[in-house]
């Protein structure tokens, strides 16, 4: 089964929280961590990574914190996952490092590339705004709710 890392999961949760509180101004890592019972130090590192990746803006000071760098409907789940975990590959043969030792004999590389591309396309189509939609309307855009991919 293909699973998100805890860091990517926490990152998506944090951006969802920020989207829900966009009118409240910047939010602290502590507030987000408390809302979802996430370890605060881990979340702070994730938020820093997302800020460096251009998905969040960080403001220092007593009224500081984090806010979305763009509207929630312009930030995809794929961007969040890629920023936290790096490129998404479902097998070791589909990497940025070139072909594996079996490249000349492999018969599954192309079908797996198509699966990888489909997952990327699906995650690119889901925005942070989609995560805060009521379940009734999310079902129409996400095919009935949460997506689980078993390989």
pLDDT one-digit tens code per residue, 123-146: 999 999 999 866 444 444 444 444
Query: Domain 6-142, CATH 1.10.1660.10 — does that match?
Result: no
Question: Residues near 138 by Cβ (< 8 Å), separated by ≥ 6?
Answer: 130, 145
| 133 Ramachandran zone, left/alpha/beta (phi>0; psi -120 to 50) | beta
Domain extent listing, the chain: 6-142
pLDDT tens for 43-96 read 999 999 999 999 999 998 888 899 999 999 999 999 999 999 987 776 666 555
Q: Return the number of other C-beta atoms located less than 10 Å from residue 81's C-beta.
A: 21
Average pLDDT, integer, range 7-34: 95
| Model pTM score | 0.79
Give me the pLDDT at residue 1, please: 54
- If one compares 115 and 97, the residue with the highest pLDDT of the two is 115
Taking 90 as the threshold, does the pLDDT of residue 7 lie above it?
Answer: yes
- If one compares 86 and 150, the residue with the highest pLDDT of the two is 86
């Amino acid at each position: 089964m293909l699973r998100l890392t805890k860091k990517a999961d926490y990152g998506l949760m944090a951006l969802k929280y920020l989207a829900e509180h966009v009118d409240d101004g910047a939010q602290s890592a502590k507030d987000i961590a408390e809302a979802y019972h996430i370890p605060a130090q881990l979340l702070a590192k994730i938020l820093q990574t997302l800020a460096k990746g251009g998905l969040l803006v960080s403001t220092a000071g007593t009224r500081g914190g984090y806010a979305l760098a763009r509207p929630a409907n312009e930030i995809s789940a794929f961007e969040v996952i890629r920023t936290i975990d790096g490129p998404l590959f479902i097998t070791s043969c589909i990497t940025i490092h070139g072909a594996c030792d079996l490249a000349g004999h492999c018969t599954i590389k192309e079908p797996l590339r198509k699966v990888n591309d489909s997952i990327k396309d699906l995650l690119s189509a889901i925005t942070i705004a989609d995560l805060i939609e009521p379940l009734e309307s999310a079902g129409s855009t996400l095919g009935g709710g949460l997506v689980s991919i078993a390989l």
